[in-house]
Amino acid sequence: MQAQLIALDWGTTSLRAYRLGEHGRVLEHRSLTAGIMQLPSTPRSIAGQQVSDGFELAFDEACGDWLDADPSLPVIACGMVGSAQGWREAAYQQTPASVAALSSALVTVRSVRGTNVHIIPGVLQRSELPNVMRGEETQVLGVLDALPPGEAASPLLIGLPGSHSKWVRAQDGRIVHFDTFMTGEVYAALSSHTILGRTLQRGDGFDAAAFDRGVGVALSSVGAAGPLSTIFSCRTLGLTGALSGAAQSDYLSGLLIGHEIAALAQLLRDDAAPLPAVILIGSDALLARYQRALDAGGFAQITLAEQATERGLWRVAVQAGLIPSLSAAAARPLHVEN
């Protein structure tokens, strides 16, 4: 199958490149560690020029050979590559944000190869406590595009667990509101840079019982004291022999994710509506944890979406007119699992 688009998901620590064929089918996929904060630094020749710019070097490493084979391929990118620290800043678009609004605000940077790289802007939510995201908006658009029209028009809750977990509320195919929880980054900081890490032992396996115990504490009346109080139990349960060092890592994970789910449920209940169905996007191991915590927190319907990033990048490229209409038509449905 002939390639139609090069799509880049370019974040802080990683760069994922996709060569997409008709209807957004993935023909080839590459993962590099060349995120915007760890770009390559060894100069080399690109298109007959000696190049030292890290973004140019990473771009060439990710897809230079694809462009050698077909220099006419359009290129689209999302993520931190469009931040103030990125290759070219793509100003945030405000909520409510739609595929039409984001695709009309693409920012272009021209590479030394002469290829235009079209960067999708992030999304800004103005409120008393402003909120932003870059990259996640493209994944959300990928999920929304895959849903039947009637389902996409209904209120949806889309979760993107990670270092900075995002919980996105969407309606009528638009991102209307989102909340951020720094759960993953707080876990990393607590386990590596506080006294909790002195007894915490990380293993290869998953201690489901310890994780569920942490979730249970966060969702209980004891958890009402908040994470600043309950996280100390990771140490005291160890000191009293109730929790082994090997179990403390998953207990702390469950505790923090449990507090995230409890806070999310409270925010949603403030709207005086039943807890909604949830669509999750992310890595399998992390999603398994969130599924357990969501189930314990009273979220009855949880589905997992796959290929959201590729689908979102393709959808924005189609909307922006980067792909011929015949190639763009009849896109394949995004796979969603219960």
Q: Model confidence over 232-247: pLDDT tens digits?
A: 999 999 999 999 999 9
pLDDT at residue 335 in the model: 44
Q: Which helix (H) or strand (E) holds 159?
A: strand 156-160
How many Å apart are CA 43 and CA 53, to the nearest integer? 8
pLDDT at residue 328 in the model: 57
Residues 6+ apart with CB under 8 A from 180: 131, 133, 164, 165, 166, 167
Q: Give the pair of three-digit tokens for residue 127.
A: 């409120």
Query: What's the CATH architecture for 3-180+306-337?
Result: 2-Layer Sandwich (3.30)
Domain ranges of the chain: 3-180+306-337, 182-305
Task: Give every residue of the chain whose pLDDT is below 50, as ranges.
Answer: 330-338
- Kindly report whether the peptide bond that precedes residue 227 is cis, defined as omega within 30 degrees of 0: no
Distances (CA, A) of 212 to 172, 215, 228, 277, 287: 36, 5, 19, 21, 14
pLDDT at residue 329 in the model: 52
DSSP for 213-278?
HHHHHHHSSGGGG-HHHHTTHHHHHHHTTSS-HHHHHHHHHHHHHHHHHHHHHHHHHTTTSPPPPE
Is domain 182-305 in CATH 3.20.20.70, yes or no? Answer: no
DSSP for 291-325?
HHHHHHTT---EEEE-SHHHHHHHHHHHHTT-S-H
Q: Give the pair of three-digit tokens for residue 95.
A: 């909520």
pLDDT at residue 168 in the model: 97
Beta-strand pair 26-32/15-21: antiparallel
Q: Model confidence over 10-44: pLDDT tens digits?
A: 999 999 999 999 999 999 999 999 999 999 999 99
pLDDT at residue 269 in the model: 82
pLDDT at residue 25 in the model: 94
Beta-strand pair 75-78/3-10: parallel
Same fold, 3-180+306-337 and 182-305: yes
Q: Give the pair of three-digit tokens for residue 208.
A: 């489901």
DSSP state of 173: T
Q: How far is CA 288 from the centre of its chain?
A: 16
